[in-house]
Amino acid sequence: MAIIAASGVEKIFRQPKRHAGFGGAIRSLFSREFTEVRAVDGISFKIESGEAVGYLGPNGAGKSTMIKMMTGILVPSSGTVEVLGREPHNNRITNAAEIGVVFGQRSQLWWDLPVRDSFDLNRHIYDIPAPRFTENLARLTTMLDMSSYIDRPVRQLSLGQRMRAEIAMALLHDPKILFLDEPTIGLDVVAKDVVRKFLAEVNRDRGTTIILTTHDLVDIEEICPRLIMVDDGKLLFDGELKHLRTALGSRRRLKLEFGSDPGPIALKTAQLVADEGAAKHFLLDSEQTSILDVLTELGSGHDLKDVKLEEPDIEEVIRTFYQNKVQAGAVP
């Protein structure tokens, strides 16, 4: 059975309308109008126990809103969300005890107190038995290298140290699912790397299900075999990262290098996009076309030196995708 199931989920926010300028300010003294914002628009997916899923999308795509519905903070406007077989909002406390949540941009640690004090308070709130707490704390302290700062006030920590502490705090009670909202935002390269390796390890070795939102693809490449991509509240893609290219219709590039310029070459299986004489670039039409097909069609008799197949950069694929969408939207 799926550990998380979302079906036809929608979330609509009401926001007061603002009027610009002096007259507008006077006007809003007396009137109150609302605009409706559809942050999540008919999303369905299922997540199995032990999966690591990346929830990807640009700002305002409704990623955080979806996390908030799965953690019981928000109630869907329509559709259903089930986490561990329960509706999260109505079973908020039971649900909260079995999940861990990390918000990248808002700390759950007590600002003026040492890290250890926040951990200790969580021990009471989550009712963690003392031996298990000690064991988990020791393990997490080692894995995340926190021993040097666990007794320092949170306000003195670097962002990277704080994020490690946040993640450790969310794992102290051995949650079945770990939700992370933008866990690597603002971190430097080294800190990002530590967080990614750690999360991948927690998922692999302890079987903790991980759902993370991000707009950094490297997070997904290193932690999450599965990707859910959203934009404008709608689901764009759900599947393995390597299938994303095909799904989004992007094509692989094939580069053929010859000893000498063989002259113009036209092929049915591949489309010539750039001709540098001795080096020619082709686009492969579909995932089914293999290099072998191309080479077979090309036949022998050419002074072929090297064959290079370039997978498109995933970052670029997504960027192109969004750009196309913006352009498409610009045309009335």
Partner 1 sequence: MARLHVVIPALVHTFIRSKTEYPGAMVLGWLSQFAAYGSMYTAISLILARFGSLGGWVWPEIALLLSFHLLAYSLGASLSFVQFREMEEKVRMGTMDAILVKPISTWTYVVFSGLNIGYAGHIVLALGLMGWSLTQVDVTWTIQSGLLFLGYLVSAAMIVAATMTMIGATALVWVKSNHLYQIFFGFWELARYPLNIFPLPLQILMLTFAPLAFMAYVPVAATLGKPVPLLGDWASAAALLSGPLVTLIAMAHWRWCLRNYQGAGG
Partner 2 sequence: MKLAAYPAFTATAFQSRLAYRNQVWSGVFGELVFMFARIAIWTSVFSTVASDSVDGVTLPQMITYALLAGPVLYWDYSRLLRDVGTAVKSGDIAVYLLKPLLYPAYMLASHTGNFLFDLLTVTVPVAIIIGFTVGLVPPASLFHGLAFLAFWALSFGMLFLLTTILGLAAFWLMTADSLDWFFNSIMILFAGGIVPLWFFPDWLATIAGNLPFAWVSYYPAAIYIGQLDPSQALTAFIIGIVWFAVLLAVLLWLWAKARHRLIVQGG
Which residues of the shown chain bind partner 2 in the complex (CB under 8 A)?
22, 25-26, 28-30
Structure tokens at 215: 């707009």
Q: How far is the CB of 29 from partner 2 (least distance, A)?
A: 4
Cα separation, 324 vs 193, whole angstroms: 32
Q: How far is the CB of 25 from partner 2 (least distance, A)?
A: 4
Q: How far is the CB of 299 from partner 1 (least distance, A)?
A: 58
Q: Which does 28 bind (CB under 5 to 8 A by kind): partner 2, partner 1, none?
A: partner 2
- For partner 1, the closer of residues 113 and 304 by Cβ is 113
Cα separation, 323 vs 242, whole angstroms: 21
Q: Which does 75 bind (CB under 5 to 8 A by kind): partner 2, partner 1, none?
A: partner 1
323 near partner 1 (CB under 8 A): no
83 near partner 1 (CB under 8 A): no
- Contact yes or no for 28/18 (Cβ under 8 A): yes
The sheet with strand 279-284 has its strands ordered as: 270-275, 279-284, 253-258, 304-310
Interface with partner 1 in residues 37-56 (CB under 8 A): 37, 39
Q: Which does 92 bind (CB under 5 to 8 A by kind): partner 2, partner 1, none?
A: partner 1
289 near partner 1 (CB under 8 A): no
258 near partner 1 (CB under 8 A): no
* φ/ψ (deg, to 5) at 207: 70, 15
105 near partner 1 (CB under 8 A): yes
Q: Which stretch binds partner 1 (CB under 8 A): 48-56, 116-124, 247-255, 308-316?
A: 116-124
- Judging by DSSP bridges, how do beta strands 52-56 and 226-231 pair with one another? parallel
101 near partner 1 (CB under 8 A): yes
> CB pairs under 8 A, 24+ apart, for 223-227?
223/52, 223/54, 223/196, 223/199, 224/52, 224/53, 224/54, 225/51, 225/52, 226/51, 226/52, 226/53, 226/54, 227/53, 227/54, 227/56
